Chains A and B, each alone.
Chain A
Amino acid sequence: MGKIEWAMWANEQALASGLILLTGGIVGVAGQFRGWEFAAYSVAAGVFVCLLEYPRSKRAKGTSVERTGQYCFTVCVKAFGPLTRNYYVRAFLHAAICVPGGFMLATVLGCVCLGIASLIYLAVSC
């Protein structure tokens, strides 16, 4: 079990939860439900998480497949240096981003998924 590379799974999970946050946010804003401000926030948060997580990192062992067109995203992510490259920081960043999503029904699923992704990143970096 120790040889499993969890980071790839965390990356996939975070990308998917970014998409879910985005969709939930759009639904929340479109329906003008109670607390739609949280939905508007989660639209922005979802877009940010997707951009951050789009580049797939290289595996330590074995072949890695890049996602299509990820080169420009990789440049942006690397430009911020250790703030975005370090998995510890990413874990806390995701944990912080996901909290406001929990206040509205439409975005609560994205919040939980992002929370799980942040836990996996924490497991990777410890």
Chain B
Amino acid sequence: MLWLGANAWLFLNTFLLFSTGQQYHYLYKMLGVGVCISRASASVLNLNCSLVLLTMCRSVLTFIRGTHVVSSRKTRRLLDKSKTFHVGCGIAVCLFSVVHVSAHMVNVVNFSSRYSDDFPALNLARYRGEDPKWIILTTIPGVTGVLLVLILLLMLISSSYCIRVSNYEIFWYTHNLFIIFYIILMMHMVGGVLKYQSNIEAHPPGCLRPNQSSAEQHVDDLEQLEDDNSRCKEDAHFEPHYPQTWLWVSGPLCLYCVERLYRFIRSSAPVTIVTVIRHPCDVIELRMLKKDFKAQPGQYIVLNCPSVSSFENHPFTLTKCPTVNKETFGIHLRVVGDWTERFTQQLLPQSRMDLEILPMVQQRAYPKLYIDGPFGSPSEEVFNYDVSLCVAGGIGVTPFACVLHALLDGWRGFRLQRLYFVWVCRELQSFYWFAELLCALHQKLWEENRPDYFNLKLYVSQVDNLQSMSEERFRPLSSRMLVGRPRWKHLLDEIGKSNKHKRVGVFCCGPKGISRTLHRLCNSARSRGTTFEFNKESFS
């Protein structure tokens, strides 16, 4: 809302400035309303171009999230939705570019047809009736404008959902053209096409030249009009605008460059792979060590493996954070897609179907790995509620696994008093990824006399080919396992009944269907005084 208001205010302000401002009087007469629209849209474009960059400074956003300076929910939601905001600003840039370009086209035509003989400094065209195409192609703003529009179009078309889902690399490589976009944008204002009048006091707009006479005056009134107000003391001087774009854009651009540099330096430290474990259902667990690596539960890292692909970076949520006692941290990655397949082949050269743990001796055979991060995500807020509900779908359990590890280490230090954990998987085998963790936590809380702290519900959504966990040590899990999809409304009602007048944080990481249903249920009215606050994890 604030953003829309800022855009609207900027647009109207600049529009009024150009249409009524005295220093633009002659320009307005020559170009008409086109100049107002084009300048107004330019100022909106300035704002959005700078915002677009700011939303992508991930380390800065992680830092802000971590300092807990922003405790109000609205600002936290803004941080959570930074990617959506980025897309929104991007679309605004495209829309206003269209407005800006069309207004400037009209301006160019007017520049050429209404060539002003009175004020030659104001003209862009070299002579009356000059072909507008040549005006565009021979001035710096024109040429840079054309290039900018082209790059913008390329970036827009390759950012469509379809291409992002099917070929992420096309999206990534074309989107990186933004660097060229910003460089050309900085040069766009060079040349000072639109000028303002700098000596308004000496030459009030609309005044008459010494040898001119106004057509409407009667002959008798001529002597009365010899006063200062309507005679010009000197000719109009025109000066080009100071390029405002630099003010808007250079700040965020510097911040972004500094952040990329910081991330590059941070990620160039090597990572040692300690263990590689193969789990059922195509999941690999990777345990790593890195010097001075600190992370909070719920954060994610970005992996880069040069021997697989030098430019591809893939995000993975941490499943185990480094603690004071144990410095190893881990991720679980599901093998789907060509990068993960090749990565797994390099990690586990032999392909065996059963559980495989490779000892440290084989470390020399591991590929070099670089990690960037950690970056923040909404799941960090699980500990800041009294009661939390975590819903995971399949591999989406990874952020919550980290939360569970943190609870296993020491659950007393957090504000969290009760955790409801719902994990929906297609197959029973998937639960073996974290079966030991779940049982260990359950056991610990029972022994420390807090059985109500951790409430676990497991769902197997594939109803045919039923199996069960036969191991005795996984008894707590098999007794809490249900077949079929969970009924969310009943679940929320049940939680609401046992936690009256409390704020329950709902965290969902999984398929869109589940998160949409949950979001809708959370927002619909709750009768018993419990409010459900939905925090969506974007797991793209």
Q: Residues of A with Cβ closer than 8 Å to B? A: 1, 3-6, 8-9, 12-13, 16, 20, 27, 33, 56, 59, 62, 64-65, 105-106, 109, 112-113, 116
Contact = CB atoms under 8 A, between A and B. Distances in A.
Nearest to B162: A65
Interface residues of B, number: 21
A96 B166 CA distance: 29
Given A13-B157, A105-B105, A116-B154, A6 B170 contact: yes
Contacts of B167: 4-6, 8-9
B392 interface: no
Contacts of B338: 3
A64 B133 CA distance: 42
Nearest to B174: A9
A12 B159 CA distance: 10
Contacts of B158: 9, 12-13
21 contacts: A1-B169, A3-B338, A4-B167, A4-B169, A4-B170, A5-B167, A8-B162, A8-B163, A8-B167, A9-B158, A9-B163, A9-B167, A12-B162, A13-B157, A20-B153, A105-B105, A105-B133, A105-B136, A106-B105, A113-B150, A116-B154
Contacts of A33: 109
Contacts of A62: 166
Contacts of A59: 166
B166 A8 contact: yes
B283 interface: no
Contacts of B153: 16, 20, 109, 113
Contacts of B166: 5, 8, 59, 62, 64
A6 B163 CA distance: 10
Given A1-B169, A56-B162, A109 B154 contact: no
Interface string B144-178: 00000110011011101011001101100000000
B240 interface: no
The SS class assigned to the A binding surface is: helix
A85 to B, nearest CB: 20
Contacts of B169: 1, 4
A87 B149 CA distance: 27
B132 interface: yes
A98 to B, nearest CB: 14
Contacts of A16: 153, 156-157
A65 B153 CA distance: 23
Interface string B128-142: 000011001000000
A56 B162 CA distance: 10
B163 A105 contact: no
A16 B102 CA distance: 18
Nearest to A27: B102
A8 B156 CA distance: 15
Given A8-B163, A9-B163, A16-B156, 11 more contacts: A4-B169, A8-B162, A8-B167, A12-B162, A20-B153, A59-B166, A62-B166, A106-B105, A109-B149, A112-B150, A113-B153
A106 B102 CA distance: 9
B160 A12 contact: yes
Contacts of A106: 105
Contacts of B102: 27
A12 B132 contact: no
A13 B159 CA distance: 11
Given A59-B166, A62-B166, A105-B105, A12 B149 contact: no
A7 to B, nearest CB: 10
Contacts of A12: 157-158, 160, 162-163
Nearest to B98: A23
Contacts of A113: 150, 153
B104 to A, nearest CB: 11
A109 B158 CA distance: 17
Interface in B93-120: 102, 105, 109
Closest 10 CB pairs of A and B: A16-B157, A4-B167, A9-B170, A13-B157, A12-B157, A105-B133, A4-B169, A9-B163, A8-B166, A5-B167
Contacts of A105: 105, 132-133, 136
A116 B150 CA distance: 10
A20 to B, nearest CB: 8
A44 to B, nearest CB: 22
A59 B115 CA distance: 55
Nearest to A106: B105
Contacts of B157: 9, 12-13, 16
> Which of B102, B166, B169, B338 has the largest number of chain A CB atoms within 10 A?
B166
B309 to A, nearest CB: 9
Nearest to A6: B170
Contacts of B133: 105
Contacts of A4: 167, 169-170
